[in-house]
Structure formats: C-alpha cells, structure tokens
A and B are shown apart, each in its own frame.
Chain A
Amino acid sequence: MLEIRNLVCRYGKVTALKGISLTVPEKQLVVLVGANGAGKSTTLRAISGLVPAASGGIFFCGQEITGMSASRILSLGIAHCPEGRRVFPHMTVLENLEMGCYLRSDGKEISSDLDRIFSLFPRLAERRKQVAGTLSGGEQQMLAIGRAMMSRPKLIMFDEPSLGLAPNIVEQTFAIIQSIRESGTTVLMVEQNAYAALDMCNYAYLLEAGSMVLEGPGEKLINDPHVREAYLGAGLAHA
C-alpha cells in the first residue's frame, strides 16, 4: 500500500535520511523503531509532505506522492497523528475533531463519523464542549487519534503515541491502535517503547542514524542480539 524507495531527506546540510526503503502492506501494522534522532519522525513527515524529499520516491496505492502538498496527500488517504499529540489547545474537543475532517464536505457522513468516534471514546463525548488544552494527557491522545480518524484514512501514521503517558494509558492507546488495524486501516507507527511496539506489529524496521539497519517480523527484531542490547535493555525485555 505504501512504498518508500531510497528516500533521502536533508535539513540544510544535515542529511536526516540516507536513502531508506520501506514497505507497508495493506491492513498490516508496521513499526519503525530506533533511537532519538535516527530519522523516524522525518520519515513520517516526508510521507505527509511536510519535509521535501531530496531524492528517492514515495508511492501510495500505486501512485507517486513525492512532492505533493500535505493537503493532497491527506485527501488521498494518509493521516498523521503527530508526536506530542498536538491537539489545538484553545479549541473544543468537537472543533478539534472537525479540524480532522477539514478537507471533507460530506456533512452527513461526517456526523456519523463523529458519532462513531464518540462511541469509541466516551470520555471525548462527555467533554465535547471542553477546551482541548484542559484535557489530561490520555484524553488528548484519544482526541489526537480520533482527529486523525476523522479524515477516513486508508493509512494512519502514529508518531510516538505512548510518549509521556501513564503506563495504563499507554496500554489503552496500543489497544486502540490494534483495534484500528483490525477494523481494516493500515498502520505505520513510530515508537520508542520498542518492546511493546515489536510485540504488536506484523513487520518492523530498525532505523539508525538515517539508515535502515534491520527489518523483519517483530519476533525477529525482539530476538536480535543487537536490538536486545541497544533498544530492549537485554534481560529486562521479557521481565
């Protein structure tokens, strides 16, 4: 469904991605793990059209999307749930969700989608008139996920969904992401919480300093000695 071929991205003189390739098959959950600054977020930002590609190509459903505007890519069906949740703090829960379907104009479908999000996240329904900045971290994460779902994406990308959340909320967030995949939406997730991410995915990639160094099914990475030492804290992984 999504394919990246030899993608190179630069910020000024710094090369953030040194020719990476990655494939996300339909209805699967693919995870991108790696340390801070490895280029995980840049990869997602490049897919969304927020960072230009210096070379290489990005293809979605057989169509090249490299160089397209962010709004065009979103309307083709790729939603991006950014790192740190980034809800609009002074807008209400409802307005945030409405921003998620900014490009849509099918009013009736929108209201049924809103109902669906509210039944999925009853906490948001209770707080629909509340300003998003006053929600708890977990509620903001639910809102960010709901907002991304409002565009009716074929592929939804999550950037560090567990960041800064309490352990029980992290578990809940991963369960929701799992259920999104089960309902038929393809998922590409960037995650620091490597063990949990590798455990739940269909396929995983390890990014180090802008290059893909390892890929395979989740178990393969979990059992890889290098991954165990550098990312899982060997010995603690299965504790």
Chain B
Amino acid sequence: MDQLLQHLVNTLIMGGTYALLGIGLTLIFGIMKIVNFTHGELYAFGAYMMYFFAVILGMDFFLSIAFAIVAGMVLGAAIEFTLLRTKRGADIDTTMILMIGAWIVLQNAEQLTWGGIAKSVPSPLPTEPLVIGPISISYLRAMVLLIALMLIAGTYLVINRTKLGKAMRATFQDSGTAALMGVNISAIYTMTFALGSALAAAAGALLGPVFVIAPTMGDLASLKAFAIVILGGLGNITGAAIGGFILAFSEEIGAGYISSGYRDAMGFLIIIIVLLFKPTGLFARSERIG
C-alpha cells in the first residue's frame, strides 16, 4: 500500500510533464494538421537552453526555466516561418517528411553544439527529500509538478478565455470560415506552432535538471508525446492532459510491479491495447479543442 502511494505520487510528477508534451503536440496537429516530428527536439532544446542559461550563464534557476521556454517558442516560430509557411495547403505526407528532416537536422545540431557527453543542471533546492509519512518527494520534482500544472492551466486559459484562443478554436473547427471572419490563418498557425513548441521546451527545461541532458533525449520524448496524443484522441487537449497522466501511471506501475527494465515499454503496451479496442483514442467523443 505504501509502495502504491509512492507510485501514485511519482505518477503525478511525471504525468505533469508528459501532459505538457502531449498538449503541445496535439495542439499543433489539431489546428495545423501537421505531424510534428520536431516535438522531441524542442524538448531537448528546452533542456539544453536550461543548461545554457542556468549553468553556462549562471542565471537564476527559475529565470532560466522561463528563458528556456521563450527560446523554445522562438525556435518553434522560426521553424514554422521558414519551413511550414511555404508549404501551406501541402498534403500531410509532404509536411511529415519535412518535419522528419528537420528532426534529424536539429538533433545533429544539438550534438554538434553541445557534444555527445551528457550534461546536468544542479538544482538549487534542498536535496534532502520531503518525507510525508510513507511517501518521499524530492523538492525538485514537486517544483516540476507545480510549474507543469501552472503551464497546463495557463494554456487552458489562453485557449478558452482569450481572443487568440477563440481564433485558434475557430481555425480548428473551420479554417475557411474563420478566414471569412477576418482571422489571419497564417498568423494563427505560426502562433500555434510557437505555443506547442514552447510547451515541449518547458517539459525539457523542467525535466533536464531531474535527469541528464543528452542529444538523443528527444527521440523517446517524441515517441511518448505521440503515444499520449493517440491515447487522448488527436486534437483533444483535455485528452492529451489525461493521456499524459495515464502514460505516467502505466510506466510507474509497470516499472514498480513488473520490471523496471520495461518502464518505457509499458506506455506503448497501453497504446496497443487502447488502439485495439478504441482506435480513435480514449476521449475522441468528448469535447475537442473547440
């Protein structure tokens, strides 16, 4: 029982960042119909930016997180502006191949810039874990969860409460009619890609100090983000948030009770099961982004 409680706490902590990754990817797919293979690289980029600001420049830890998120947003906007803008109206296969190319280029650029040796970012928080009864939580991980939840809530508010969010939802539901209402569809696409990228970078900046930062860290993050999006139903933000926690839970339980060597496999096992019985994802019928 105590062990289960600990697993549930761990689920919450990983689930928060997984949800961030998934929401970013599902937002881009839902609004732009682009399968974004660079998502994991934006995650890695966020982690490296965290290293750059916090370790190399020696900036404040929390300020570095904010800067890394902004850097991810800028890189996302740049990718959209240079690669995708010229391919408006191209079919999904074309943009998919383009994004696979961008993924390879970004990953190698990371290796070239930072070298192949893993980097780590020291945490400014106490290393002694917080012990509550049978559960122990490191301060760093609790902080990761808190910031992730704040970012998820912020994204939700932007989409549901702002004029930009309303334009994004209108574009998602019917881009032709949104254009008739005066929405600049091209600008909405750029902002969507930038927002999705910022969320991936945020996940990287948050998990970078928890684990280590390496050039290939984005690959697994990409795979997991796709798994989360498939779980939640394509284009479904709430679904992606819940999918993130489901993936974290299945990994935790699988690693804890079956074998820790299969931690990363557990998520994919869940995906296979979900797709066998509900190919549209768990929440496809519930409310979508709009």
Question: Which residues of A line the B interface, CB within 8 A?
Answer: 48, 50, 69-71, 74-75, 80, 82, 86, 88-91, 95, 98-100, 102-103, 147, 151
Q: Which residue of A lies closest to B184 (CB)?
A: A71
State which residues 143-202 of B face A: CB under 8 Å: 163, 166-167, 169-170, 173-174, 176-184
Q: Which residue of A lies closest to B173 (CB)?
A: A88
Q: How far is the CB of B171 from chain A (nearest CB, A)?
A: 10
List 11 A–B pairs whose Cβ atoms lie within 8 Å, in order of A's numbering.
A50-B179, A88-B174, A88-B290, A91-B169, A91-B173, A91-B290, A95-B166, A99-B181, A99-B183, A103-B182, A151-B181
Bound Cα distance from A171 to B140, whole angstroms: 67
Q: How far is the CB of A222 from chain B (nearest CB, A)?
A: 31
Could you tell me if B170 and A151 are in contact, using CB atoms closer than 8 angstroms? Answer: no
Which chain A positions have C-beta within 8 A of B179?
50, 70-71
Q: Chain B, interface size: which category?
A: 10 to 19
Q: A74-B180, A89-B173, A91-B173 known; A102 and B290 CB under 8 Å?
A: no
Bound Cα distance from A82 to B179, whole angstroms: 11
Q: Is B93 an interface residue (CB 8 A)?
A: no
Could you tell me if B184 and A88 are in contact, using CB atoms closer than 8 angstroms? Answer: no
Apart from A88-B174, A88-B178, A95-B166, 11 more pairs, CB < 8 Å: A50-B176, A50-B180, A74-B180, A80-B180, A82-B180, A86-B176, A88-B170, A89-B290, A99-B166, A100-B181, A103-B181
**How many pairs of A and B residues are in contact by the CB < 8 Å rule?**
63
Q: Is B91 an interface residue (CB 8 A)?
A: no
Which chain A positions have C-beta within 8 A of B181?
74, 99-100, 102-103, 147, 151
Q: A70-B182, A74-B182, A90-B288 known; A99 and B176 CB under 8 Å?
A: no
Which chain B positions have C-beta within 8 A of A71?
179, 182-184
Bound Cα distance from A48 to B184, whole angstroms: 14
Could you tell me if B173 and A90 are in contact, using CB atoms closer than 8 angstroms? Answer: yes
Q: Which residue of B lies closest to A69 (CB)?
A: B184
Which chain A positions have C-beta within 8 A of B290?
88-91
Q: Which residue of A lies closest to B177 (CB)?
A: A86
Bound Cα distance from A147 to B170, whole angstroms: 13
Q: Is B287 an interface residue (CB 8 A)?
A: yes
Could you tell me if A98 and B173 are in contact, using CB atoms closer than 8 angstroms? Answer: no
Q: Which residue of B lies closest to A90 (CB)?
A: B290
Query: A90 touches which one: B176, B182, B184, B287 (CB < 8 A)?
Result: B287
Q: A90-B287, A98-B166 known; A82 and B177 CB under 8 Å?
A: yes
Q: Which residue of A lies closest to B172 (CB)?
A: A90
Bound Cα distance from A82 to B181, whole angstroms: 11
Q: How far is the CB of B180 from chain A (nearest CB, A)?
A: 5
Which chain B positions have C-beta within 8 A of A89?
173-174, 290
Which chain B positions have C-beta within 8 A of A82?
176-177, 180
List the 9 closest pairs (A to B, CB-CB), nearest first. A90-B290, A71-B182, A103-B182, A86-B177, A74-B182, A88-B173, A102-B181, A99-B181, A102-B182
Which chain B positions have C-beta within 8 A of A99?
166-167, 170, 178, 181, 183
Which chain B positions have C-beta within 8 A of A100?
181
Bound Cα distance from A95 to B163, whole angstroms: 10
Q: How far is the CB of A197 from chain B (nearest CB, A)?
A: 22
Q: How far is the CB of B156 from chain A (nearest CB, A)?
A: 15
Which chain A positions have C-beta within 8 A of B167?
99, 102
Q: A95-B166, A102-B167 known; A88 and B288 CB under 8 Å?
A: no
Bound Cα distance from A150 to B212, whole angstroms: 54
Point out which of B166, B169, B170, B177 has the most chain A C-beta atoms below 10 A from its C-beta.
B177
Q: Which residue of B lies closest to A81 (CB)?
A: B180
Q: A88-B290, A90-B288 known; A70 and B180 CB under 8 Å?
A: yes
Q: How far is the CB of A163 from chain B (nearest CB, A)?
A: 15
Bound Cα distance from A151 to B183, whole angstroms: 13
Could you tell me if B287 and A151 are in contact, using CB atoms closer than 8 angstroms? Answer: no
Q: Which residue of A lies closest to B289 (CB)?
A: A90
Q: Which residue of B lies closest to A131 (CB)?
A: B287
Bound Cα distance from A89 to B179, whole angstroms: 16
Could you tell me if B180 and A48 are in contact, using CB atoms closer than 8 angstroms? Answer: yes
Q: How far is the CB of A237 from chain B (nearest CB, A)?
A: 34
Q: How far is the CB of A78 from chain B (nearest CB, A)?
A: 10
Q: Which residue of A lies closest to B288 (CB)?
A: A90
Bound Cα distance from A74 to B290, whole angstroms: 24
Which chain B positions have C-beta within 8 A of A69?
184
Q: A88-B177, A90-B287 known; A102 and B183 CB under 8 Å?
A: yes
Q: How far is the CB of A133 from chain B (nearest CB, A)?
A: 9
Point out which of B163, B173, B183, B184 has the most chain A C-beta atoms below 10 A from its C-beta.
B173
